[in-house]
């Protein structure tokens, strides 16, 4: 049975305030891969990530459990593997598959924390637990892009208001045809013409800052979640961030088609068509445009995160607040001629993760140990004296936060749906093994970090393949263990 910190303080004769429970700032980005400086990507500017890494612990081998927004967030916000949440696509809701299962912020709220969220934390408003989890919950929209305004005004003069009826329907059809910036998930991209504070992520950051400055949480410890929407499509950011990345200076390897010749069709996706590419044809100009926009979005959100860190310091909460900075999953930008997510490659499954725990993490520390996003719930619960649900499947990282070389787990596990079945992958520090409904993959991540050569059919790797198959079966059984609540 846990004893609250205040009681411990009384028992040992310390002032209760000295044993106060820490605050939590939980920042989750959307579709952010490891194109950040703290993950070893030197061609981008992310000073806020650098700032947090200099003060905390950076995980170099952190993996999501499903490389799509809804299933990934359900997994780490409820502390369960996707097979146990039952959330295996963006349409399934955990309240239908596991009624009554408490989320991470709900447990903090029930334990006496003030909880507030801005932006995309849970996948969408429909899936958000609302008052069960939050005292305050805000979502914002971008302002209208300046070049759209006269077009909209002319449209409304001919078709009526875009807010209702036939005018609204017609505008929804017309809007994606205006410019590349208005294409939404097709995807759209480009300079927005807006200031930082006119973007939803600018508003998200400023709302967190307001809560800190106005002490919205009162006398309670706080759990604030900041859902950063970018770099999710459309890749829109203020113009100045595009200037940081001249297209001609971007560096990447031409897309290889070798992958398509040596793996099951279950491993492949054809999202390249949605990005405007013709299969097998290297469109260097278009790829540079997308990469510039993606990187501009990253630097934009990094700047907003930096403002939040400044506010933590100015309000005196930098040293009593645990900060977690993470992405829900990664993203492919043309590698192997693949675009987007829903894949099991390193650039889709591996994510940036930095954690700072005042008084516990060593400034500038780095861990090469395997961790999973499902580990975040039990970690924060232990750090904050919050009683976790009994069926959590993650492993607390508290020991590793103190000693970055302490082993957390032998394998990291990620799944993805294919035709109502699952592709399942496990990773060691050296190997990645994937099992599809038809076909297997095995990569030596030490010698082949970009996963170009599938070794699954090599007799020279038969022993490794057998070991990885056995390990996957064991991990999969464990991941399914909490399916029945």
- DSSP string across 206-241: HHHHHHHHHTTTTTS-EEEEEEE-TTSSSEEE-HHH
On whether residue 446 sits in a domain, the answer given is no
Is the separation of the CB atoms in 264 and 439 below 8 Å? yes
What token pair was written down for 202? Answer: 């600018």
φ/ψ of residue 119, rounded to 5:
75, -160
Is the separation of the CB atoms in 189 and 236 below 8 Å? yes
Q: Residue 449: which of 477, 429, 466, 468 has the closest Cα?
A: 429
- At 347-383, the pLDDT tens digits run 999 999 999 999 999 999 999 999 999 999 999 999 9
Report the C-alpha gap between 74 and 103 in whole angstroms: 9
Strand 114-119 relative to strand 189-191: parallel, antiparallel, unpaired?
unpaired
- At 384-410, the pLDDT tens digits run 999 999 999 999 999 999 999 999 999
Same domain, 185 and 228: no
CA distances from 217 to 165, 295, 322 (A): 41, 34, 16
Burial 189-209 (b: 16+ CB within 10 A, else e): bbbbbbebebbbbbbbbbbbb
pLDDT at residue 482, rounded to an integer: 75
pLDDT at residue 60, rounded to an integer: 97
Same domain, 185 and 319: no
**Helix boundaries (H) for 376-456:** 376-383, 398-402
Least confident interval from 3-12, 69-78, 203-212, 451-460 = 3-12
CATH of the domain at 402: 3.40.720.10
At residue 419 the predicted structure's pLDDT band, cuts being 50, 70 and 90, is: confident
Query: Which whole number is the average pLDDT over 113-127?
Result: 96
Is pLDDT of 434 > 80? yes
Owner of token pair 């208005």: 182
Is pLDDT of 7 > 90? no
Same domain, 84 and 172: no
pLDDT at residue 388, rounded to an integer: 96
On whether residue 73 sits in a domain, the answer given is yes
Owner of token pair 């028992």: 11
- At 316-331, the pLDDT tens digits run 999 999 999 999 999 9
On whether residue 449 sits in a domain, the answer given is no
DSSP helix/strand/coil, 388 = coil
Report the C-alpha gap between 463 and 196 in whole angstroms: 54
Last residue of a domain, one of 410, 437, 453: 410
Rg (the chain; Cα; Å): 23
Same domain, 30 and 151: no
**How far is C-alpha 136 from the chain's CA centre?**
22
pLDDT at residue 484, rounded to an integer: 59
On whether residue 430 sits in a domain, the answer given is no
- Number of structural domains (the chain) is 2
Report the C-alpha gap between 320 and 412 in whole angstroms: 31
pLDDT at residue 106, rounded to an integer: 98
On whether residue 476 sits in a domain, the answer given is no
Last residue of a domain, one of 390, 410, 430: 410
Query: Which whole number is the average pLDDT over 403-424?
Result: 96
Same domain, 310 and 368: yes
Is pLDDT of 15 > 60? no
Query: Which whole number is the average pLDDT over 428-443?
Result: 97
Say what percent of the chain tops pLDDT 90.
92
Is pLDDT of 35 > 90? yes
Same domain, 207 and 294: yes
Helices and strands in the chain, H and E counts: 16, 17
CA distances from 373 to 78, 97, 300, 352 (A): 11, 20, 24, 10
Last residue of a domain, one of 356, 391, 410: 410
**Helix boundaries (H) for 268-353:** 284-314, 346-349
Same domain, 223 and 182: no
On whether residue 213 sits in a domain, the answer given is yes
Partners of 277 in the β-ladder:
none
Same domain, 174 and 301: no
Is the separation of the CB atoms in 418 and 430 below 8 Å? no
Is pLDDT of 262 > 50? yes
What token pair was written down for 187? Answer: 């995807």
The mean predicted confidence, pLDDT, of the chain is 94
Is pLDDT of 11 > 50? no
pLDDT at residue 297, rounded to an integer: 98
Segment (H or E) for 414? strand 412-418
Q: Is the dihedral of CA 174, 180, 184, 190 positive or negative?
A: negative
| CB-based contacts of 18, cutoff 8 Å, min separation 6 | 9
Report the C-alpha gap between 310 and 391 in whole angstroms: 37
Same domain, 94 and 179: no
Query: Which whole number is the average pLDDT over 293-320?
Result: 98
Partners of 267 in the β-ladder:
none
Same domain, 77 and 125: yes
Which structural domain range is residue 182 located in? Answer: 143-191
Same domain, 181 and 200: no
DSSP helix/strand/coil, 308 = helix
CA distances from 115 to 105, 133, 481 (A): 7, 7, 30
Is pLDDT of 17 > 80? no
Is the separation of the CB atoms in 46 and 319 below 8 Å? no
pLDDT at residue 52, rounded to an integer: 98
Segment (H or E) for 422? strand 421-427
Is the separation of the CB atoms in 401 and 356 below 8 Å? no
pTM, full prediction: 0.94
The greatest distance separating any two alpha carbons of the chain, rounded to the nearest whole angstrom, comes to 75
Angle between the N-to-C axes of helices 284-314 and 47-55, in degrees from 0 to 180, rounded to the nearest 10? 50
On whether residue 466 sits in a domain, the answer given is no
What token pair was written down for 266? Answer: 């279950």
Same domain, 349 and 375: yes
At residue 4 the predicted structure's pLDDT band, cuts being 50, 70 and 90, is: very low
On whether residue 246 sits in a domain, the answer given is no
């Amino acid at each position: 049975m846990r004893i609250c910190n205040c009681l411990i303080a009384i028992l040992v004769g310390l002032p209760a305030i000295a044993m106060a429970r820490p605050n939590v700032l939980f920042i989750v980005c959307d579709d952010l891969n490891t194109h950040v400086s703290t993950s070893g990507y030197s061609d981008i500017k992310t000073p806020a990530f650098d700032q947090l890494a200099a003060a905390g612990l950076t995980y170099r081998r952190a993996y999501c459990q499903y490389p799509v927004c809804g299933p990934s967030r359900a997994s780490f916000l409820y502390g369960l593997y996707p097979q146990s949440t039952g959330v295996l696509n963006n349409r399934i809701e955990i309240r239908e598959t596991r009624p009554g299962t408490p989320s991470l912020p709900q447990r903090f709220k029930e334990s006496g924390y003030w909880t507030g969220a801005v932006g995309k934390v849970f996948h969408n408003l429909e899936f958000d637990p609302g008052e069960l989890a939050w005292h305050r919950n805000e979502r914002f929209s971008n302002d209208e892009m300046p070049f759209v305004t006269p077009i909209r005004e002319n449209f409304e003069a001919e078709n009526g208001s875009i807010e209702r009826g036939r005018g609204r329907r017609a505008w929804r059809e017309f809007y994606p045809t205006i410019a590349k910036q208005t294409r939404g998930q097709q995807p759209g991209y480009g300079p927005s013409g807006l200031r930082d504070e006119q973007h939803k992520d600018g508003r998200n950051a400023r709302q967190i800052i307001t809560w800190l400055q106005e002490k919205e949480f009162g006398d309670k410890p706080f759990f604030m979640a900041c859902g950063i929407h970018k770099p999710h499509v459309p890749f829109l950011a203020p113009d100045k961030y595009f200037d940081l990345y001249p297209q001609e200076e971007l560096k990447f390897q031409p897309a290889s088609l070798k992958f398509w010749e040596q793996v099951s069709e279950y491993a492949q996706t054809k999202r390249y068509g949605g990005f405007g590419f013709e299969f097998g044809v290297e469109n260097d100009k278009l790829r540079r445009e997308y990469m510039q926009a993606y990187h501009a979005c990253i630097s934009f959100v990094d700047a907003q995160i930096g403002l939040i860190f400044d506010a933590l310091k100015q309000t005196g909460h930098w040293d009593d607040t645990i900060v977690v900075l993470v992405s829900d999953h990664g993203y492919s930008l043309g590698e192997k001629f693949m675009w987007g997510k829903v894949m099991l490659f390193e650039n889709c499954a591996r994510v940036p993760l930095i954690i700072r725990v005042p008084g516990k993490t060593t400034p500038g520390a780095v861990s090469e140990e395997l961790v999973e996003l499902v580990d975040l719930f039990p970690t924060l619960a232990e750090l904050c004296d919050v009683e976790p649900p009994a069926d959590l499947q993650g492993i607390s990282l508290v020991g590793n936060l103190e000693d970055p070389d302490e082993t957390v787990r032998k394998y990291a596990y990620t799944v993805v749906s294919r035709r109502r079945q699952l592709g399942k992958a496990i990773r060691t520090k050296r190997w990645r093994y994937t099992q599809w409904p038809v076909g297997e993959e095995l990569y030596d991540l030490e010698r082949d970090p970009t996963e170009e050569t599938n070794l699954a059919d090599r007799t020279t790797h038969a022993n490794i393949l057998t070991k990885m198959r056995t390990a996957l079966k064991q991990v999969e059984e464990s991941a399914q263990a909490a399916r029945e609540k």
